[in-house]
Amino acid sequence: MIPVTEPYLPPRGRLDYYLDRVYASHRLTNDGPLVRELTRRLEDYLGVTNLLLVANGTLAIQLALATLGVKRGRGLTTPFTFPATSSALSWQGVEPQYADIDPETLNLDPLAADHAVTADTRVILPVHTYGNPCDVERFRALANRIRVPLVYDASHAFGVQLNGQSLLNWGDAATLSLHATKLFHTAEGGGIVFRDSHLLEEARSMINFGLDNGSPVRIGINAKMSEMHAAMGLAVLEAIDEIIDYRMAIQDHYRKRLSGRIELPVFSADASANGAYMPVLCRNAVHRKRVQRHLLANGIESRAYFSPALGSLGLYTKEITGAGVEFADRILCLPIFFGLSTIQVDHICDLVCAIPPTQEPAL
């Protein structure tokens, strides 16, 4: 079976080097030396400041919201995302409020978001889907106009630059997922880039029970990254250029082979890509189901990522949106990971192209 993704495992000796340092320090967590080193190295690599590493990417969103004082009302977000984005809002007491996506970028549409604003809107939480940048200028203008914080879920956007600057530098905060399946990972992990260094310090206290110099000064929880996870991160980071180059080559190969044979999402020309995902757009839900089945029958996993559209679920709110629902029915992510060969990609492309689009109703 070829999985849709596979975590990058650094050479064991590299991980051991960092684990030896954990053993030497006798520190296993609590803002230890490896977490600090990983933070510095990531800030340097990504071109950001005010980075806080945390236990996972969902807690990163929750903490960004809490630090920015968002704890009630509604949060404008996209229905075309992994449930973590909406769940993080809901868990923090903020009701997700869906606006439609732009059919070109598959990201939250700033105009639709603008139209969806209500007096209850307390935050805007767009997602840089597949690492493709949102319309950051228009979201900044909207957030300024309605005076609410702007938080980007940048879980897919590790290393992406927009007009030569890290995409993480847009928004009052931008959050990263460093989960095992992400192109850069710490097994489980997340990060928050804050625009404001004061918020960084607040969040640093908040992930450690609200303590400040050992005394509780605010409501906090535990969202600390351990030294073991930081060790994994440091070992993976040594290979990050190699990983991204590899994934980009695989993505390019896919796109060349599939171009004109199945619809491919358009990525921004102003941004660098990172090869995080390999999404294709089937004709409709029936076509997608047939492609998925055919791939599976040939030992290849694929994933309808993201489907269903969250606004159609009835779990969060019941706002059915047009393009969000349509693209949730059509989207399919093909295998992409470090180690996948171009021969395997050729085989996958042949299988995908063997299934003609259909106009039949859903099975």
Q: Which of residues 79-98 bind a second copy (CB under 8 A)?
A: 82-84, 87-88, 90-91, 93
Q: Which of residues 148-207 bind a second copy (CB under 8 A)?
A: 179-180, 185, 187-188
Q: Which of residues 288-317 bind a second copy (CB under 8 A)?
A: 308, 310, 313, 315-316
* Residue with smaller CB distance to a second copy, 10 or 110: 10
The three state secondary structure string of the chain is CECCCCCCCCCHHHHHHHHHHHHHHCCCCCCCHHHHHHHHHHHHHHCCCCEEEECCHHHHHHHHHHHCCCCCCEEEECCCCCHHHHHHHHHCCCEEEECCECCCCCCECHHHHHHHCCCCEEEEECECHHHCCCCHHHHHHHHHHHCCCEEEECCCCCCCEECCEEHHHCCCEEEEECCCCCCCCCCCCEEEEECCHHHHHHHHHHCECCEECCEECCCCCECCCCHHHHHHHHHHHCCHHHHHHHHHHHHHHHHHHHCCCCECCCCCCCECCCCCCCEEECCCHHHHHHHHHHHHHCCECCECCCCCCHHHCCCCCCCCCHHHHHHHHHEEECCCCCCCCHHHHHHHHHHHHCCCCCCCCCC
Q: Is residue 59 a contact residue for a second copy (CB under 8 A)?
A: yes
Q: Is residue 357 a contact residue for a second copy (CB under 8 A)?
A: no
* Residue with smaller CB distance to a second copy, 87 or 284: 87
Residues binding a second copy: what is the number (CB under 8 A)? 54
* Residue with smaller CB distance to a second copy, 231 or 281: 231
Q: Is residue 29 a contact residue for a second copy (CB under 8 A)?
A: yes
* Residue with smaller CB distance to a second copy, 62 or 272: 62
* Residue with smaller CB distance to a second copy, 274 or 312: 312
Q: Which of 19, 285, 286, 320 binds a second copy (CB under 8 A)?
A: 19
Q: Is residue 57 a contact residue for a second copy (CB under 8 A)?
A: yes
Binding mask 206-225 for a second copy (x = CB under 8 A): ---xxx---xxxxxxxx-x-
List residues binding a second copy (CB under 8 A): 6-7, 9, 12, 15-16, 19, 23, 26-30, 55-59, 62, 82-84, 87-88, 90-91, 93, 179-180, 185, 187-188, 209-211, 215-222, 224, 226-229, 232, 308, 310, 313, 315-316
